[in-house]
Amino acid sequence: MHQLEKSDLQLLSQSLCGVARVFGARQWCLATSGNFSVRIDKNSLLITQSGKDKSELAPDDLMRCDLDGTPADATLRPSAETALHACLYRRDAAIGAVFHTHSVSSTLLSRAAGTSVEFSGYEMQKALAGFESHENRVTLTVFDNSQDLPELAKRVQARLAKASCPAPGFLIRGHGLYAWGKDIAEARRHTEGLEFLLSCLWQARLAGLQ
Ligand SMILES: [Zn+2]
């Protein structure tokens, strides 16, 4: 990928912050939780700094890291979960943006689930690239949570490498959702689609429906 011009970088920053503010307003990343990143080129990414309020996110709240998660500016502290973002970009060169939310539905459903959450019969499944019918089955893997992020990243990488047709996301138990796409627009669509599906599943469970 060619080196991005400064103006391209500004557009990427503004676009990423716009999505973060929308997701923040939906209460998907309260209390400075969640993190958002976009690929700059084959060696680096732009990611939210630690502890920033996503509902007010501005370009100065972002920072550059390499694909091992090492900050370009050592005086800035990246999100605690940078290792997970970096491992996704390393694993798949087609991934251009990664969003991580801490919604109520993803937190509760991942606590109640075994090793995966499945959706079928929902029209919204078609929001996910590669899923063309409500009759397809979408499987979201659930990983046990850990504060050892490099260790969690290793488990994620190993599991995703085995999946033949994975959904563009996964859950971490009692924690939240990761979703990605080829660019910011697709990652946004995937995150919104998966959050909608998780919310449907949780509300159906509360109502005693299946
Ligand atoms: Zn998190």
CA of 81 to the centre of ligand 1 (A): 7
Centre of ligand 1 to C-alpha 5, Å, is 31
Domain-located, residue 166? yes
- C-alpha to C-alpha distance for 134 and 136, rounded to whole angstroms: 5
Band (pLDDT 50/70/90 cuts) for residue 108 is very high
Distance 94 CA to ligand 1 centre (A): 23
Q: How many domains, the chain?
A: 1
Residue 35 CB neighbours (<10 A)? 27
Under 8 Å between Cβ of 44 and 66: yes
Between 80 and 58, residue with greater pLDDT: 58
Residue pLDDT, tens place only, 70-96: 999 999 988 889 999 999 999 999 999
Å from CA of 133 to ligand 1 middle? 30
109: tokens are 């459903």
Q: How far is the CA of 175 from the centre of ligand 1 (A)?
A: 6
How far away, in angstroms, is 54 Cα from ligand 1 center? 13
Average pLDDT of the segment spanning 164-173:
87
Residue 121 pLDDT exceeds 70? yes
Establish if 1 belongs to a structural domain: no
Distance (Å, whole) CA 68 – CA 131:
31
**Amino acid at site 8:** D
- Cα 121 to ligand 1 centroid, rounded to whole Å: 29
Q: Is residue 108 part of a domain?
A: yes
Average pLDDT over residues 124-134: 92
Tens of pLDDT along 133-142?
898 899 999 9
> Ligand 1 center to residue 181 CA distance, Å?
18
What is the 174 CA–ligand 1 centroid distance (Å)? Answer: 10
pLDDT tens per residue across span 9-47: 899 999 999 999 999 999 999 999 999 999 999 999 999
In a domain, 157, yes or no: yes
The parent domain of residue 173 ranges over 6-206
Across 4-8, 66-70, 144-148, least confident range:
4-8
For position 1, what pLDDT does the model report? 45
CA of 68 from ligand 1 middle (Å) equals 18
137 lies in some domain:
yes
Answer yes or no: is pLDDT of 2 > 60.
no
Average pLDDT in the chain: 92
> Is 65 inside any structural domain?
yes
Ligand 1 centre and the CA of 152: distance in Å?
12
CA–centroid distance, 2 to ligand 1, in Å, is 31
CA of 101 to the centre of ligand 1 (A): 7
* Residue showing tokens 């939310």: 101
Where residue 21 sits, what CATH number does that domain have? 3.40.225.10
The one-letter code for the residue type at 52 is K
